[in-house]
Amino acid sequence: MDAIIERVLPGSRVHIQWHGDDDAWRCLTAADVELDRRGAATPVGWRHWAGTPTAVIKVGVAHERQRWWVLAGELPAADSTIVVEIEDGARPPVERVADRVWCCEWAGPPSVASVTVDDQISVTADFRRRAHYLPGPAPDMTEGRGHISRER
């Protein structure tokens, strides 16, 4: 059995996991990972990798009094190039997990980001919609479970 390869994004503490035996990946908040490790929750969120550039997950979480926005998706090939551009022109660094999955994060207000895979726009992710906020009031930004949604 292959071990799970995991990348923990430092700002949001979101975990991107790759399970080589099953060619599957998932994106979990720190709270979900803790429940999973304690056996307090049924393992969720595994999705079969198909190399589909439009298979993107977006997550919004609050951590250390900031809102963090995370995108993760499938790499069509190990040498694929991924560029994420936020509407203000910023380009957060994109990381890879097992050359099958990519991920990135940034802090700030809700915004729109475009994902370009191999020089072609694949997905536009809109974090301004209410569904991508954490439950609870925004001003205190208490740490908690994020809302995960999938875009195709």
Q: What is the pLDDT of residues 116-143, one digit of tens each?
A: 999 998 899 999 875 443 333 232 233 3
Question: CB-based contacts of 65: which residues, under 8 Å, 6+ apart?
Answer: 141
Max avg pLDDT among 3-7, 33-37, 90-94: 90-94
Report pLDDT digits (tens) over 23-76. Answer: 999 999 988 888 888 876 666 778 999 999 999 999 999 887 899 999 999 999
Closest CA to 99 of 117, 78, 71, 82: 78
pLDDT of amino acid 32: 86
Is 26 buried (19+), middle (13-18) or exposed (0-12) by CB count in 10 A?
buried
Rounded Cα distance, 16 and 140, in Å: 26
